[in-house]
Amino acid sequence: MRYLCMIYGDEKAEEVAGVSDWQTMMEQHGAFSGAAGAAGVLRGGEALEDTSTATTIQAADGKVLTTDGPFAETKEQLGGFYIVECDDLDTAIHWASQIPHPGGRIEVRPVMEFD
State how far the Cα of 1 lies from the Cα of 4, in Å rounded to an integer: 10
pLDDT tens-digit map of 53-70: 999 899 999 999 998 877
Which residue segment(s) compose the domain that 14 sits in?
2-110
pTM: 0.86
In this structure, is residue 17 part of a structural domain?
Answer: yes
Q: How many CB atoms lie within 10 A of CB 88?
A: 10
Question: Does 24 reside within a domain?
Answer: yes
Residue 99 inside a domain? The answer is: yes
**Alpha helix stretches (DSSP H) within 1-115:** 11-16, 19-38, 89-96
Number of structural domains found in the chain: 1
Res. 72 pLDDT band, cuts 50 70 90: low
Does residue 85 lie within any of the structural domains? yes
Instruction: Confirm if 85 and 41 have CB atoms less than 8 A apart.
Output: yes
Q: Give the Cα separation of 70 and 26 in Å (integer).
A: 24
pLDDT for position 92: 98
Distance CA 18, CA 22 (A): 6
Look up the CATH number of the domain holding residue 23: 3.30.70.1060
